[in-house]
Structure 1
Amino acid sequence: MTALAPPDTDAQLVSRAVDDLARSTRFPVVFGGLERQGSVHVTAIAGARSHAIDDLVVQVGRGLGGAAMMEKRPRLALDYRTARTITHDYDRAILGEGIATLFAVPIVTEGRARGVLYCGAWTQAPVGDLVARPAFRAADAVGTELRIRDEVQRRLSLAPPPETVAGLSPSAKEDLRESFAELRSIAATVDDAALRERLAAIEQRLAAVARDGSVARGGNDARGDGDAQLSPRELDVLACCALGSTNAEIAAALNLKEGTVKSYLQAAMAKLDASTRHAAVARARRIGILP
């Protein structure tokens, strides 16, 4: 079984988002966390003057952040102490930190609220679009990363063990080839090292559909036998070719120019000693770098 990323990966993701937001927003204190079993657990704090909000746990539907989670939209309390549209379950923490204005932005993926990012000010501060924009961007970025991680986990759970792939039906092999191409496309958008490792692991497992049924070895570069060694982008393009995609379709899928796709494809064909894209795909499958 392929090893998964460490359990604290999501917490690290929120921590990076909070630190980045603290640098880009006008709010002096920023904190946030993800939902777990019906509550948001605050795991990252930047700019706080006390320990009042340390380890804060906010139940969905309660307080400002809980309301933002439940409604899946930002919520603002310009004067938190006197706000009448929220419950005040967490006054001890929020007022204990001295926060007067509190802004809560939910982290949403696929219509599901996954967490909250909070921005707080120690004095009443108006929140217009310009002030709110960094928080929206930060929440969207975390949501996108969580969606990618969910997809990686789903693909990992669907991948068969290497000892079973050789006997798969043609249609099952085609499904795996489509998954391989999709994962290559996802990998092109991922900056997180742990996610890239997980993607590489599932790609290797999928590549075991190759002739000998063994998992291709190697790191981020795609390696076969002899001198055949494709760059990650060359492999991305070739994986799409294996699905029958045109250069224009590949360019759209990988966010590249069509001419750039053609260049990558020509380079891959040269490395694989193939005169056509179909021959390049066939050789890549024979040597185990494509499923």
Structure 2
Amino acid sequence: MYPMETMGTDAQLLSYAVRELARRTRFPVAFGGLLDGNSVAVTAIIGNRTRSLEGLRVQPQRGLGGRAMTELRPRMTHDYGSSQLITHDYDGFVLGEGLRTLLAIPVIVGGRSRGVLYAGAWAETPVGDLSTAPAVQVAELLASEIRVREEVERRMRTLPTPATAPPALTPVQREELRESYAELRSISAALKDASLRARLASLENRLLSLSGDTESAATQPVTTIHLSPREIDVLACAALGLTNAEIAAELSLREGTVKAYLGTAMTKLGASTRHAAVAGARRRGLLP
């Protein structure tokens, strides 16, 4: 969904999500914000006729968006001004823009609301599945991006940088690095967005560079061994001691498929066991 080269900040990510929301739902106005302290600051607005929505901060349980955040589900109204189901703390903002129809979708990360997206219209507009479904999809994609970014950043903070990495990692550091690598591979395997997978791949390569276990050019085998992404995914999990069933659950594969990938990887590496395959992949710099 997101062109990652433009997604340097949360503000840019949110702005793209709001534009995507308007495009997919065809609502004339879209806006939204992410949690900032105890409230959501609306920082992305498109399609507005006035500046009334600027400066809007939404508290949980207050207004349509606050209710959506609290209930963890979309909320909508065909006539915002007369709705009896919400508080009207933000009438000055919403009615100041002249909005009558309003749809609010919470951005849910880890079971809690981290923001809210809105789609609105100046006239009474039916809001059904045709509008709600794509709006929810945009919110879920935004939540997925936030979740992946935060997990990647958390993992990367625990690892030494190339400039400060010691000549040899301690056993604890090495195990943490290998766990991080396997987790990044499993996250990447579940993503459909090619640009996001490419970003994760660059982080995976950084982990490989930190491992310091690659063979020197003088000892590299003449024949280059190429493992498919899935073969590396399976080996990365096997390196942590997971069983075929556990690897299948982690990567959303069938157990027989995992066994097949392990078999082809072992054949390519000339290994008779999964442990030998992992060791061979590490010697060639294919695993940390």
Q: Which residue of 1 aligns with 2:10?
A: 10
Structure 2: state its 5+ residue gaps: none
Q: Distance in 2 between matches of 1:136 and 1:167?
A: 44
Q: 1:213 to 1:38 in 2, by over 3 A?
A: farther
Match of 1:230, SS state, is: coil
Determine whether 1:101 maps to 2:101.
yes
Q: Distance in 2 between matches of 1:51 and 1:23?
A: 20
1:104-119 correspondence to structure 2 within 5 Å: 104-119=104-119
TM-score of the pair, normalised by structure 2: 0.78
The one-letter amino acid paired with 2:111 is G
Q: Which residue of 2 aligns with 1:57?
A: 56
Aligned counterpart for 2:276 among listed residues 266, 279, 287: 279
The one-letter amino acid paired with 1:82 is S
Q: Distance in 2 between matches of 1:130 and 1:85?
A: 23
CA contact (8 A) 1:104 1:117 kept: yes
Percent sequence identity over aligned pairs: 52
Q: Distance in 1 between matches of 2:284 and 2:110?
A: 38
Q: 1:165 to 1:49 in 2, by over 3 A?
A: same
Q: Which residue of 2 aligns with 1:188?
A: 189
Q: 1:54 to 1:194 in 2, by over 3 A?
A: farther
**Greater mean alpha carbon deviation, residues 144-153 or residues 172-181:** 172-181
The one-letter amino acid paired with 1:288 is G
1:243-282 correspondence to structure 2 within 5 Å: 243-282=240-279
Determine whether 1:31 maps to 2:31.
yes
Give the aligned length.
Answer: 277
Q: Which residue of 2 aligns with 1:174?
A: 175
1:49-88 correspondence to structure 2 within 5 Å: 50-52=49-51, 55-61=54-60, 62-70=62-70, 72-83=72-83, 86-88=86-88
Q: Distance in 2 between matches of 1:133 and 1:59?
A: 23
Structure 1: state its 5+ residue gaps: 215-223
**Greater mean alpha carbon deviation, residues 139-148 or residues 67-76:** 67-76
CA contact (8 A) 1:25 1:134 kept: yes
1:134-213 correspondence to structure 2 within 5 Å: 134-162=134-162, 163-164=165-166, 166-169=168-171, 171-190=172-191, 191=193, 193=195, 196-198=198-200, 200-205=202-207, 208-211=210-213
Q: Distance in 2 between matches of 1:157 and 1:7?
A: 20
Q: Distance in 1 between matches of 2:126 and 2:25?
A: 13
Q: Distance in 2 between matches of 1:133 and 1:193?
A: 24
Q: Distance in 2 between matches of 1:7 and 1:178?
A: 26
Q: What does the per-residue CA deviation read over 1:153-180, in whole Å, with 9 as the maximum and x for residues that have no partner?
A: 11011113342372412x5433332221
CA contact (8 A) 1:27 1:120 kept: yes
TM-score of the pair, normalised by structure 1: 0.77
CA contact (8 A) 1:39 1:57 kept: no
Give the alignment's Cα RMSD to 1 decimal. 3.4
What's the offset of the Cα at 1:228? 2.3
Q: Distance in 1 between matches of 2:151 and 2:111?
A: 15
CA contact (8 A) 2:266 2:277 kept: yes
The one-letter amino acid paired with 1:50 is R
